[in-house]
Amino acid sequence: MKLFVYHTPELVPAEGKAACAIAIDVLRATTTIATALAAGAEAVQAFSDLDELMEVSEEWAAEKRLRAGERGGAKVTGYDLGNSPLDCTPELMQGKRLFISTTNGTRCLERIQGAAAVLTAALVNRQAVVRYLLNHQPETVWIVGSGWEGSFSLEDTVCAGAIAHSLMQESDLDHLAGNDEVAGAVALYTQWNDRLLELLHHASHGKRLLHLDGEDDLKYCAQVDVLDILPMQQTSGVLMNHG
């Protein structure tokens, strides 16, 4: 297994295909996806385009769907939810399909959706992703941070490092790393692993969310290995828990 870390979707190679590609958006899309599935959502269907989300979700029975829309950190008018994982309660999610569009996370997912296996990861479900990789040993793994509008995000790269660091219990860095970004991500994680909430406070998108009253979201998103959920793409953009 060779890991390649890409800090943003724009850095993913135009040519070639990974055996497994993993989208990360710790703040907050992939944390929300894992949480919605843990709370009993039947599936999460991701869209980069809000109009397309509306069109597709319209075909779904109203009592069986929830629409989540986020732009710039705020809920989009007319949607049931924004992108806070804390809104994903079992009462709300049970048996429903969550149709979601976010600024960067769902765009990242779209960028990698051609891979043979597509997963989403966040700190909250890191170990479930690691377990899948150890069990299936895909030859090439792309771990892609969503970033923010084309720029690097600390929180996504630290999560990539958390995944690689855990895999290094079975294999050393030289065998695992397909590009230099892997060592960089592991170094970031090693430096901050006992202060992840503090790191999220330093992150530019963490600061943006704090201005939007997002302290509780940051606390939730900074937790590691608390959800045994593996969101895996079933058909284009549709994620279900791979139990």
Write out the residues near ligand 3SL by the rule CB under 6 A.
25, 27-29, 70, 73, 83, 102-105, 146, 209
Residue 104 or 241 having the CB closest to ligand 3SL: 104
Amino acid at 135: N
Q: Cβ of residue 217: shortest distance to ligand 3SL, in angstroms?
A: 7
Residues facing residue 144 across a β-bridge? 6, 23
Residue 69 or 138 having the CB closest to ligand 3SL: 69
Residue 105 or 138 having the CB closest to ligand 3SL: 105
Q: Cβ of residue 139: shortest distance to ligand 3SL, in angstroms?
A: 29
Q: Cβ of residue 107: shortest distance to ligand 3SL, in angstroms?
A: 7
Residue 8, classified by CB atoms within 10 Å of its CB into exposed (0-12), middle (13-18) or buried (19+), is: buried
Residue 205, classified by CB atoms within 10 Å of its CB into exposed (0-12), middle (13-18) or buried (19+), is: buried
Residue 81 or 186 having the CB closest to ligand 3SL: 81
Q: Which residue has the tokens 């949480």?
A: 35
DSSP string of 110-129, one letter each residue? HHHTTSSEEEEE-GGGHHHH
Distance between CA atoms of 110 and 185, rounded to whole angstroms? 23
Q: Cβ of residue 131: shortest distance to ligand 3SL, in angstroms?
A: 24
